[in-house]
Structure 1
Amino acid sequence: MKKVMMLGSGELGKEVVIALQRLGCTVIACDAYEGAPAMQVADGFEVFSMLDGDALEKAVRKHSPNIIVPEVESIRTDKLYEFEGEGIQVTPSAKAANFTMNRKLIRDLAAKDLGLRTAPYAYATNIEEFQSAVEKIGLPCVVKPLMSSSGKGQSVVKDASELEAAFTYAMEGSRGDLKEIIVEGFIDFHTEITLLTVTQKEGETLFCAPIGHRQERGDYQESWQPCAMDSAQLEEAQAMAKKVTEALGGAGIWGIEFFLGHDAVYFSELSPRPHDTGMVTLAGTQNFNEFELHARALLGL
């Protein structure tokens, strides 16, 4: 029987805990507050800030998990490399958790190292850099914190009069101790999709049917599966997903977001875990829901 430590205990983490327990695992749920959703069904729990490296190491030493499953971005990820080096499995990998904890590492990996098609972008840590970034990218543009979740701190700027408010909103929406934002060129797209991608310990990379989703003011509203799309664009999205997951390594499910333009597919973002838009899979849209796929992949089933 495997002992699994969940770093992050929200609603998505709760579903992962249930899936793991059904496969015979003992699960310890961790988060910064008591009574988090996953703690309510886990076999045990710990309350501490996962940005506190000493507290994180103390919890790991106390429970000696076989597998660590990061479920949030705000983690002291340098510790995950240490745990992985000691033989503790990090899902999908310590590199994946580190690179996806902020948009800078994953965007540079995708655009510069792997040559994936993305929106033009620039970074900023203060209002002067932000104004220069917007001047470089042009209007309209999308402004996001480098580290956030569920669209928090994200806005579309259409006029120069909106710049100061967008900068403040992005900084206030930042999670963890990283205060930096990304300015992206606005892509003329007709559909936004999530491609749930499963990497395995042994076996080829698998893809679920694409999930269409809709956001309003940066907040996720609804999703549907399957999402109708051109077969050539689907193949292109799958090729990009395979390329970036291979670069990050490990086994598990990944929620990879793409913009579908009228003539091209653009890589947007990536989460190395079940995705909020993938909640639709709980409705029986596929044989295994995204949480069951994650559990099976990380256990090597």
Structure 2
Amino acid sequence: MTQLDPARDLRCDPRQVLVLGDSVVEEELAWSFRQLGFDVTHLRTAEIDAEDMQQRYPSLTVAGAGVDPEVLKELEERAGSIVSPSVGAQELCSSREGVRATATDSLGLPTLRCEFVRSPEELEEAALRLGLPVVVKPGRSSEGQGQTVLRNEEELHAEVTTAWETALEVDPEGPVVVERFIEFDFELTILAARSVDPATGELATWFCEPIGTRHEGGRLVEAWQPAVLSEAAAGNARSIAARITGALGGQGLYAVEMFVAGDDVYFSDARPRPSLDGLLTRATQRLNQCSLHARAVIGLPIDATLVSPGAMVLVEGAAPSVAGLAKAMSVAETGVRFVDGAAVVTSTGESAQEARDRATLAASRL
């Protein structure tokens, strides 16, 4: 178990935290550490310079998506910084191939059949072996970007090159993933926080209520919490989340993505950090995902309590206007903010369905 121990390297300033990454998630994460009394430096990916960072000697480094694992290794080995959850987890989760091998080969988790290919010709052959329809994905986690669904042989032959190039736009080095597509009920994210249990002094895992998600064209468009699952599916989902986060190790918040089809749950992906769909927790939980991540990496007590059912709708390219905001915010228990070129509409309600209806209505008024 890795705990924040300033004495492990006297060069480290025990109040220094370095947050790396470009998205609103890293901005909120930096704020969460500041609220806990830490001196936080937040650098965007373009600003990262390994030599410069080594001079900062942060006691703790927390990385978002797109940060080169080699930079994190340098910080850990040469500057004595603790990388959380761990360099190994960051490196493994940066590749779908690595995390899928861990899930399937090491843990035996239920997953959808897939192959990793390195040319359009291999992509076409893999799709025919797996059976259509298939989903073509970038080789690294991408928040849904760069994905293409090929539903039949006609689409496969006509769009194989486009699907290949679309995936490479997100991850130019590849490989590209070809995954069997199934008709599922919905997609699911379990946020799992690994921290020190104050009652035992041992590492433990806390689970947030499951978040249901819906994507269009590979992009997240809706999330709601709690997602309604059968008792069997809920147990399967927590078991998958516990096993994959236990294998990845370290302390922090993991976002574990799955597909739900009745009582069956299939592992899809895992990220060693807060996620886009987890932005919903600002409205639904006592502690949002970034507060949980900050607490967990330090080893503080965790509270994953849901205080209200809620839902979130993302509207890409929505232009802010006072008139539109006024109409949207007139919906009960609803707020709107703009994040990375999208309007994020969040609503709460007596049930997740009521919150979904409110968020959908408000989004239509923007």
In the aligned structure 2, how far is the partner of 1:144 from the partner of 1:30?
28
- 1:1-301 pair list within 5 angstroms: 2-33=15-46, 47-48=47-48, 55=49, 57-72=50-65, 74-85=66-77, 87-163=80-156, 165-174=159-168, 175-201=170-196, 202-283=202-283, 285-301=284-300
Q: In 2 relative to 1, CA 126–221 (structure 1 residues): closer, same or farther, beyond 3 Å?
A: same
Q: Over residues 153-189 of structure 1, what are the superposed CA-to-partner deviations in whole Å (9 max), with x where a residue is unaligned? A: 1011102232353543443444355222111111221
Superposition RMSD in Å:
1.7
Identity score, percent:
35
In the aligned structure 2, how far is the partner of 1:210 from the partner of 1:169?
31
Give the count of matched residue pairs.
279
TM-score by length of 1: 0.87
- Compute the displacement of 1:277 (Å): 0.7
In the aligned structure 2, how far is the partner of 1:184 from the partner of 1:176?
17
TM-score by length of 2: 0.72
- Structure 1 letter corresponding to 2:25: L
Q: Which SS does the other structure have where 2:76 is aligned?
A: helix
Q: Residues 81 and 94 of structure 1 are in contact (CA less than 8 Å); yes or no, is this contact kept in structure 2?
A: yes
Q: In 2 relative to 1, CA 167–67 (structure 1 residues): closer, same or farther, beyond 3 Å?
A: farther
In the aligned structure 2, how far is the partner of 1:27 from the partner of 1:170?
40
Q: Which structure would you say has the larger Rg? A: 2
In the alignment, which residue of structure 2 is the partner of 1:42?
Answer: none
In the aligned structure 2, how far is the partner of 1:169 from the partner of 1:138?
16
Q: In 2 relative to 1, CA 144–204 (structure 1 residues): closer, same or farther, beyond 3 Å?
A: same
Q: Residues 232 and 263 of structure 2 are in contact (CA less than 8 Å); yes or no, is this contact kept in structure 1?
A: no
- Structure 2 letter corresponding to 1:262: G
- Compute the displacement of 1:61 (Å): 1.1
In the alignment, which residue of structure 2 is the partner of 1:41?
Answer: none
- Compute the displacement of 1:85 (Å): 4.4
Q: Over residues 83-135 of structure 1, what are the superposed CA-to-partner deviations in whole Å (9 max), with x where a residue is unaligned? A: 43464211111111001112110011101111000000001110111111111
Gaps of 5+ in 2: 1-13, 197-201, 301-366
In the aligned structure 2, how far is the partner of 1:185 from the partner of 1:58?
43
- Structure 2 letter corresponding to 1:135: L
Q: Residues 143 and 219 of structure 2 are in contact (CA less than 8 Å); yes or no, is this contact kept in structure 1?
A: yes
Q: Which SS does the other structure have where 1:9 is aligned?
A: coil
- Structure 2 letter corresponding to 1:224: W
Q: Over residues 182-201 of structure 1, what are the superposed CA-to-partner deviations in whole Å (9 max), with x where a residue is unaligned? A: 11111221121100001114
